[in-house]
Structure 1
Amino acid sequence: MELPTFEVKKRSRSTDDEGEETARPRWRRAALLTTLVAGAIFAAVNYDRRHQPPPPLEPGQILTCGLRHRHVWPFHNPPEVASDLVVSLTTLPQRSETLPLMLRSLAAGWTVPRAIYVVDGGDHARPNLCPSYLSRHRGRHTVDVHFVRAASDRGPIEKYIGAEAAIRATRPRGHPRFLLVLDDDHVYKRHMVERYAAALRAEPDTVFTVQSPPSQFFGWRPRINIAYGARGVGIRTDLALDGALAAYAATAARLEPTCRVVDDIVVSAFFASHKVAVRDVPGFSFDNRPWRHNNQIRLISKQHALRSDKRDAQNARCHDALVRRDATGAHATAEHALNVNRGPSQGGGAAGGHRRMPESILPLGATRSATKKSNI
């Protein structure tokens, strides 16, 4: 059986139709190419904007971030907040790896501070952006972390005096009563803030630290009680943030340049000259330390040499310049250095007679009358 066949007639196209068909794909390709180029340019500009480094903090500027509590309901009870206590510390760019460990140890405590102030010296320009381990959001279950760019770099003592303006700016109404000074390369125990706060509330006129032996000074022994910043120093805010400590530190640095880098000696001599007692926190001692060892921090300290091998000699020199050697007369070396710096024309030296030391720089147990009678 023969199948039927069909003739299919091809449609004829005119010359104009052929030109239109050939032009249309070219226009579409041009539009598609233009869209792709524009999208690529927009993506490149947007990527560049997102990955541009943020501007640094200006002197006196404050960056506030949020540090989330480690233990939050329903898994654990939320920690108590010590509303009358804030923490202050200084840091260096070399310790950028240890700072997160230290801050997280505070957030993991049974009691957390009201706020934490991280003071950077004038030469350390921190980016105006919260680090990755912190959040820009602040809420009920977070601790405020204020990064402060100090107007000038006065050394590690900025942890005491550098936070003054920031505390007044961030707490204009509820000014904290107590200040806890810590170190940025320690991992602290969970009950540290709780015990310091309890001790300060019981005896607000006392400075609390952990000074039990063995001492961290080798080759010499201090003649005053030392407030160790690395072990924690709890003080009433008006004892250090009223301007007297800043003036004392400036005078001590002029008297002995090494005092600029040994804040523990300067602060302890300041407390001794003002008859402020320095005692151990009840329940803490060198055997029961408020921090625990961390292998990661120990490795980082060795890699970056965070501890100076000249610190013992610097501590001794500053100590001998600020603290008198006996209980009957003022320290002769300190007065002699002051008189030599003034010169005979300004009343210093043998021709100028005796010079009265400022009240804030008087050695331990000395008074103005004792300073007048002391022999240079």
Structure 2
Amino acid sequence: MEHKKHIVHIDLDSFFVSVERKFNPALIGKPVLIGGSADRGVVASCSYEARKFGIHSAMPMKTAMKLCPHAIIIRGTHGRYGEASREVTQIIHDTVPLYQKTSVDEFYIDLTGMERYYDCYKFATDLRQKIIRETKLPISFGMSSGKTVSKMATNQAKPNGQLFVPHGKECEFLAPLPIRKIPMLGEKTCQKLYSYGIEKIGDLQKVNLKFLEAVFGKAGLFIYEKAHGIDHSEIVPHSDRKSISTENTFETDVSDQRVLENILTSMTEELAGKLRRENKVAGCLAIKVRYANFETHTIQEKIALTAAEHILLPGVKNLLKKAWNGRRPIRLIGVRLSNLATGSYQINLFEDNEERIRLYQAMDQINFKFGDKTICRAAGMEIGTRNFNPFMKG
């Protein structure tokens, strides 16, 4: 019999809102929306009080304000979130043997093997209390034998709760939940399943694999395994990362080249700064463009190992020219730096002068102290004033 895993999924509840409430307790208990301007922005995050009105993240602000006219809108402060995220990461880093940070407010922790010495659920409970005590942020966790069930358990435990699904009880826990609670199951897939009368995960558990493969092809097995709580995916620790990426989905499709270049600039700066902080350089650059019909193009090129924006940025803009005809509206855009290697910024004798190297060191010093978005190129700065929200939770 294979050794059962003990996986914890940790998620900070409406993270951006919780961080803002720490700085302004008057926001506690009120419907709060974080995101862009009331007329053109989207909701990046909203409080539970706002969710009661049917508001959710990525909804246009206009729509949200119709649903809840008395909601409080906050522009969001990027540095604060980065700082809070680092505090939480540090506590987890100092406490557990193996973890993976999957976004600014979400972690998977692998406690497998510790059950010989500890009660893993108690260990996770103590960790949660420690984070709440030291950061004053509400946090939920789910624990089970795999990543997917643990994530779904966290979602059931929210807000500010915890839930353990014992080994062998995965199907039982999943059965009463609606199928749309399965992470990564898209709206179209759900609609198709509804048309067969499958609404709850329990209904899905009764369907045989052959049927799912006939209807959904390769995705059939994925759906079958998720419905039965089977998840073989491993937890990949931070240090073994082979790439870093970031993407942004627009609420309305964008075909303005300047807006796209500004966003790519901002994303590239963020990733390059991250590389330099982690003492890494990248050997491959890629961008991803998705159109309204979900057609997606990824285009990449090898580059000399670097973590410097003045080399990465022209490369990114060049890839955009290759990937996009300049007319078709874009729904999502992303940047990925891969083939990562350890090493500091490579000094290029032909291109660099002392000033430029000192500039990078100074930029990193300041951004490290004050959080990410303190200094960036003018093009990156313009974004704040346009229809773009750098806090979109991917």
- Is the pair's TM-score, using the shorter chain for normalization, greater than 0.5? no
The structure where strand makes up a greater share of residues is 2
The TM-score, its normalising length taken from structure 2, stands at 0.24
Which structure ranks higher in relative contact order (CA pairs < 8 Å, sequence separation ≥ 6)? 2
Structure with a larger share of its residues in helix? 2
